[in-house]
Amino acid sequence: MGIVTIAGKKWDVPKKQLNIFNKEEIENILFAFNQSCGGNYYMLDYYQRRIIVDDLSSAILCGYSRKEIEKEGFDFLKRILNSEEQCWLDKVNTAGWNFFFLQDESKRKNFVISYDLTVKTINGSKHILHHKITPFKFCNRGNMWLGLCHATISPQKEMKNQAYITNVVEGRRYNFVDDNFTLSKMEYLSYKERQILSLMAQDLTTAEISKNLEISAPTLDRFKRKIFDKFGVDKATSAIHKAHMEGLI
């Protein structure tokens, strides 16, 4: 989840496991994602503190070479983040790992952590990127080994130092407040609701969405009303706009 150093007592992985994934295979997966999504994906190896990229991973490269990133690992983030955001990210990471280790191992795959970071490119220009990190591979002790990161341009015009963890299956959100992640009072979108909102954003008709998700029109209408209630809006365009601002779609 960033520059954080993982506590040894929580991250005790046998050496024989260090090569349980094929780096070339991971790079091929990233290349496939990035072909479709404009270079927005890279992988974080939390045990060996590596950033795994392919030649299309432009969101994290920031104009630097792939070789530089692979050599520096997590320390590369110090090049593209200012010291204030590094400090904030360390707090988010520490709280995130503490939160993660408290979750039941069978449910850890359901959590996604999200936050914005201002990155500085090699030519000095700055961009606010929205990051979503989801578990990709676990060690045999149930700890996240690899995290798949999706980085996109943030809709925010300035940094607000906001981070949250979402249980995408249960539709629960935990906000980063006072150096901890605590359950939000606001209801969050479930996986099915996010699917519907994403299809709505593609301007699909009710019949098309119903067919795509194999649900009836009345069931779809109930989902829509619940989405509007959670967002406090009364029409689809407002819900879609808010979802974009929240980085949900």
Please answer whether residues 158 and 128 qualify as being in contact, where contact means their C-beta atoms are separated by less than 8 angstroms.
Answer: yes
Please give the tally of structural domains in the chain: 2
Q: Write down the pTM of the prediction.
A: 0.73
Q: Which domain holds residue 19?
A: 15-183
CATH for 25: 3.30.450.20
> Is the domain of 88 the same as that of 141?
yes
- Asked whether residue 175 is assigned to any structural domain, the reply reads yes
Residue of 127, 160, 114 lying closest to 58 (CA atoms):
127
- Asked whether residue 241 is assigned to any structural domain, the reply reads yes
Separation of alpha carbons 101 and 12, rounded Å: 13
How confident is the prediction along the chain (249 residues), in pLDDT tens digits per residue? 444 444 444 555 555 555 556 888 899 999 999 998 888 999 999 888 899 999 899 889 999 999 999 899 999 999 999 999 999 999 999 999 999 989 999 999 999 999 999 999 999 999 999 999 999 988 877 888 899 999 988 877 788 888 999 888 877 889 999 999 998 866 677 788 888 988 998 889 999 999 999 999 999 999 999 888 888 888 888 888 877 766 566
CATH for 211: 1.10.10.10
Could you give the 3-state DSSP secondary structure of residue 97? helix
> Is the domain of 112 the same as that of 56?
yes
- Asked whether residue 5 is assigned to any structural domain, the reply reads no
Please answer whether residues 69 and 60 qualify as being in contact, where contact means their C-beta atoms are separated by less than 8 angstroms.
Answer: yes
- Asked whether residue 127 is assigned to any structural domain, the reply reads yes
> Is the domain of 119 the same as that of 157?
yes
**Which residues, 6+ apart, have CB-to-CB distance to 113 below 8 Å?**
1, 92, 96, 132, 133, 163, 164, 165, 166
> Is the domain of 215 the same as that of 141?
no
- Asked whether residue 1 is assigned to any structural domain, the reply reads no
> Is the domain of 135 the same as that of 222?
no
Predicted confidence (pLDDT) per residue in 47-103, tens digit: 888 999 998 998 899 999 999 998 999 999 999 999 999 999 999 999 999 999 899
- Asked whether residue 72 is assigned to any structural domain, the reply reads yes
